[in-house]
């Protein structure tokens, strides 16, 4: 009976999400419905629901998760300070006179904005409004232009400091402790935000190199797809440096303090929020109305994240109460190839879910279910976290529900059709999957820096 209810629970959840119901309430509502059915049929232990209030209290008092609204505030404040406009304009003048130079400028600015703001929607929309018309006007292939802007905008999900990595660190840390307790280790280690930040740094930068290499190759093989702009009289090196220095300094202050162990992620996020406010003040882009906008946007995003987390917590409890954890454990152990086969199956599942779900939902629903089993199979937690982060990044690009596609489609001119946009992101999705393969073959790309800094 539990197996039937478990399958029905998953099917009902997918159907409700596909119907467009709010994710947080769908997770909690479907879970409560099947908990009630399970209680009526004697297939569900009510003690799982009794643990829910303590779980909610733990979520709201979690010091690591306090970094989320602070990082969101930092990113929104920098975005409202019109930092992207200055960076894009000046960097485009530096590289635009070379074939593919404008696309390279978009990727470089996207990487810098990723490390300083991490707000995918704002980055994609800003670059779409500024660079997309310019690229199309100068003869860039619409597929290449759209794909480059979308890919550059999603770099904030893997280059630290990243909200995805903060959420993953929280979920993986809990799962890693559970796995160690089941193994009889009563002084368990944890996975910190600093571990994942350090682990994601090299793969994130390497992914940027992959993107740049692809643009350079396209510009070399098909010059008409990425033509050069007329050379400017003034290369604008000075203005580009002045525009880049504030966010670079802020990133070093935030990320450096975490990696050096000087500050916790929450403390560093607070420094980042104050630093972003000072940058906005120095740029004369902060007034009372703009501050109100930043606070409202921060509140909206933070409320969404925590509402989904609470709904996912309830869903996870009901899923376990219906025997789901044992079913997943047995399923992953039965997959041929041991730990390698299990990780491959989980990565494939997360990639497929990325077509229909957001990274937050996947993080809060899937990771707590599968991660403990993978840790029991001996998978390194930092490596797994970085693999998951790169995989989750693809969810922003995969049609039909990739959020970066929606953001760019909303501001794109008619010359960029939806079909061209979908085709344009395919090479970048392939590069992300290639990065997953490289990381699978050389796990030290993710584990070397954390072991150097923290062990």
The string of pLDDT tens digits covering residues 196-234 is 989 999 999 999 999 999 999 998 888 888 887 776 655
Does the pLDDT at position 235 exceed 60? Answer: no
* Kind plus residue range of the DSSP H or E element containing 112: helix 101-116
**Whether pLDDT at 21 is above 90:** no
| pLDDT at site 384 | 93
Crossing angle between the packed helical segments 381-393 and 338-353, to the nearest 10 degrees: 30
Half-sphere exposure (Cβ direction) of 83: Cα atoms closer than 13 Å: 36
Residue spans of the domains in the chain: they are: 2-454
Alpha helices, H only, 117-192: 120-137, 142-153, 163-182
The predicted structure's pLDDT at residue 96: 65
pLDDT in tens, 76-131: 887 777 776 777 777 777 776 788 888 888 888 888 777 766 666 667 777 787 77
What DSSP letter does each residue of 187-256 carry, written as one string?
S-----HHHHHHHHHHHHHHHHHHHHHHHHHHHHH-GGGSPPPPPPSS--HHHHHHHHHHHHHHHHHHHH
Q: What is the pLDDT of residue 309?
A: 83
State pLDDT tens for residues 28-63: 888 889 888 888 888 888 888 888 888 888 777 777
Residue 90: Cβ within 10 Å count? 21
Give the CA-trace dihedral at 303, 309, 311, 316, to 10 degrees: 180
Q: Model pTM?
A: 0.84
User: Which helix (H) or strand (E) covers residue 278, if one does?
Assistant: helix 265-282
């Amino acid at each position: 009976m539990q197996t039937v209810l478990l399958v029905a629970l998953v099917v009902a959840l997918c159907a409700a999400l596909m119907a467009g119901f709010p994710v947080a309430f769908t997770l909690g509502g479907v879970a409560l419905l099947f908990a009630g059915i399970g209680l009526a049929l004697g297939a569900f232990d009510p003690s799982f629901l009794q643990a829910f209030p303590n779980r909610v209290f733990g979520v709201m008092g979690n010091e690591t998760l306090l970094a989320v609204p602070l990082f969101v505030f930092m990113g929104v404040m920098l975005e409202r300070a019109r930092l992207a406009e200055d960076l894009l304009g000046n960097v485009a003048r530096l590289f635009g006179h070379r074939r593919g130079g404008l696309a390279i400028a978009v990727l470089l600015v996207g990487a810098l904005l990723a490390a300083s703001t991490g707000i995918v929607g704002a980055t994609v929309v800003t670059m779409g409004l500024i660079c997309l018309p310019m690229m199309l006007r100068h003869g860039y292939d619409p597929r290449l232009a759209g794909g480059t802007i979308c890919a550059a905008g999603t770099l904030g999900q893997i280059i630290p400091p990243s909200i995805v990595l903060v959420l993953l660190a929280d979920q993986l840390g809990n799962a890693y402790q559970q796995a160690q307790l089941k193994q009889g280790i009563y002084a368990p280690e944890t996975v910190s935000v600093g571990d994942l930040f350090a682990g994601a740094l090299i793969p994130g930068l390497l992914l940027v190199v992959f993107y740049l290499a692809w643009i350079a190759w396209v510009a070399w093989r098909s010059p008409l797809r990425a033509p050069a702009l007329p050379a400017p009289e003034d290369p604008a090196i000075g203005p580009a440096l002045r525009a880049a220095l504030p966010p670079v300094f802020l990133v070093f202050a935030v990320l450096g303090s975490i990696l050096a162990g000087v500050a916790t992620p929450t403390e560093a996020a607070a420094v980042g929020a104050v630093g972003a406010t000072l940058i906005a003040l120095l740029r004369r882009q902060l007034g009372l109305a703009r501050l109100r906008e930043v606070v409202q946007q921060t509140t909206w995003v933070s409320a969404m994240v925590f509402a989904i987390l609470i709904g996912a917590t309830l869903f996870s409890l009901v899923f376990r109460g219906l025997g789901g954890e044992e079913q997943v454990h047995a399923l992953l152990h039965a997959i041929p190839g041991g730990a390698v086969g299990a990780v491959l199956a989980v990565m494939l599942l997360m990639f497929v879910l990325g077509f229909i779900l957001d990274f937050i939902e996947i993080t809060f629903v899937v990771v707590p279910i599968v991660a403990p089993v993978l840790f029991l199979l001996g998978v390194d937690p930092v490596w797994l976290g970085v693999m998951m982060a790169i995989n989750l990044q693809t969810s922003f690009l995969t049609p039909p529900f990739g959020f970066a596609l929606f953001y760019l489609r909303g501001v794109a001119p008619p010359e960029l059709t939806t079909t061209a946009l979908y085709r344009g992101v395919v090479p970048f999705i392939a590069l992300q999957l290639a990065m997953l393969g490289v990381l699978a073959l050389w796990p030290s790309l993710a584990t070397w820096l954390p072991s150097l800094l923290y062990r």
